[in-house]
Amino acid sequence: MSQTLDSKLVAMLEVVYPAVDCAFVAEQLIDAMALAPDADAPPAHQNHWDPSDIVLITYADTVQQPGVKPLVTLKRFLDDSLRDAISAVHILPFFPYSSDDGFSVMDYLAVNESHGGWEDIEAIAGDYKLMADLVINHMSARSRWFENFRKRVGPGKDYFFEGNPKDDLSMVVRPRTSPLLTPVQTDDGERHVWCTFSEDQVDLNFANPEVLIEFAGIIREYLTRGVLIFRLDAVAFLWKEPGTPCIHLQQTHELIKILRLLIEHHTPDAVVITETNVPNRENLTYFGNANEAHAIYNFSLPPLLINTLVTGNCRHLKTWLMSMPPAQMGTTYLNFIASHDGVGLRPTDGLLDEDEKQRLINTMESFGGKVSYRRTADGRDQPYEMNIALWDALKGTAEGGADHWQLQRFLCAHTIMLALEGIPAFYIHSLLATENDHSRVEHTGRFRSINRGQWQLDAVEAALADPLSHHSKAFTELKRLIAIRRAQPAFHPNATQFTLHLGLQLFGFWRQSMRREQSIFCIHNISDEVQQVALTDINLIGTDQWTDLLSGMAIDDLAGVITLKPYQSVWLSN
């Protein structure tokens, strides 16, 4: 007999809160989510996705029109330009905020008035699967909760994590160089609050079950507004214990299980995605036993793929792909090459050596990129991420510098991403092939702004309508590739994948559909030189008819050779 919701919750809560009345906390959580305590769980290992799923990542105000709320303009752009290309849209934090382009939330239950209102969010959710951030690790120092913390009243008095400068904090893993503890004057004296990211982003105290109960209510509101996919922002840092690294602690994993349990009881086809920009082996732990994240960001893909294309050598990308376990049914990878953040370097730990990392950094800097740093336990500053627009990251090679293969290299990167096991996610500035925005960096003083530019709607429409612009060339071809991908059973996010061994200049893998009716051999020339593939090396079944889905070319001689131009790809399908 399966456990009911309340009994499951109590068992999970007892791991996190051994000294608390967990039956009472479970009751509060169930009430906050408006659930039935004796409800049975939805079926396990359900895939809430298929080959047609494509995610767009965007800020609410990336595309703008004078006198029109940006969320209204975004909906118009989606409907006019992307309705046939995407299934889901991730709108980055659209709440009132005080810094970090939305990730320092002042009010979780309001829409930023300058962007629009809940009715605009619901309109987008009515036509697309809506993905939203649950900015769960920290909150703005200008929020009402934090004002109450200063006044020592509720709600908020015990909602933020306090540290002691005398504690041993040397093991704490840091993503930034800013101080970890920030002194704050309160109505009963000075206190030191924990700030993983910045002094304006104060970490919440999940050791207080009331904070978890508050978030259950926030989640319920998002679900009723149409949010179907939850991105748990910076969730790896959620639980703190001085004397430990304060990342990936067991309580964090248990809290993710609790949140997922509540979410899927409310909306059985909702999806939880963890955002954990960490080394690959650590990232994989967030699948749990198919009971934590439904999907995890494939954080090693962006730096490894960029490195592959600027060096013309796929050794590390291939080694990584061979080491990736197939995701269990009901879980999958979220594949992306660019996002609103930089290209993380921690996910290359154990995959690239220090000289290779430095060469990649030098190449990105030569293409106009910037580098952000983090503070290590021994007090050193170490490169944390490269800040650069993907279009510019692929403008040349490490050896030769900028060249005339930029568009082909850029398209090759996305062709690889589209074919890999998992769900593809496109950052809006990659779909539009936007360049580095140096003026925005100067204006904000933040390196991440280089890839967070804004377009006027008439300007983006004009750029996409001009067949000679690189924006139009990239956008048109990416939409064609997406349309091909969405029609292939072998590109189901959970379809079989095997790595091919075709040398260092050809990156290849084989996908086979769940019912084995379709195979696709995905082969990509990742170099700036012509390469040849002997078809005998990939064992095409002789009784089948084989066609390159990308060019329409039929394969007549299975003992023959395919010639690939620089950065050309083929998807050979039976």
* Structural tokens at position 538: 């990939």
Question: Is the omega angle on the peptide bond into residue 175 within 30 degrees of 0, that is, cis?
Answer: no
372 phi/psi in degrees, rounded to 5: -105, 155
Which residues are CB-contacts of 358 (< 8 A; sequence separation ≥ 6)? none
CA neighbor of 505 nearest in space, from 564, 551, 549 = 564
Q: Counting beta carbons within 10 angstroms of the beta carbon of residue 536, is it exposed (0 to 12), middle (13 to 18) or buried (19 or more)?
A: exposed
Q: Are 139 and 145 within 8 A, CB to CB?
A: yes
Is 233 catalytic? The answer is yes
Q: Rounded to an integer, what distance in angstroms lies between the CA atom of residue 261 and that of residue 266?
A: 9
Q: Are 457 and 66 within 8 A, CB to CB?
A: no
* Structural tokens at position 394: 């692929």
Which amino acid is located at 314 in the chain? C
Which amino acid is located at 343 in the chain? V
Q: Which long-range contacts (C-beta less than 8 Å, at least 24 apart) are formed by 29-32? A: 29/212, 29/213, 29/216, 29/258, 29/262, 30/5, 30/6, 32/213, 32/216, 32/217, 32/220
**Helix H or strand E segment including 245:** none
Question: What does the DSSP 8-state code read for residue 160?
Answer: B
Q: Are 63 and 457 within 8 A, CB to CB?
A: yes
Show the CA angle centred on residue 100, arms to residues 202 and 138, nearest 5°: 25
Q: Rounded to an integer, what distance in angstroms lies between the CA atom of residue 413 and that of residue 524?
A: 9
User: 61, 233, 437, 528: which is the annotated catalytic residue?
Assistant: 233
| Catalytic residue list | 233
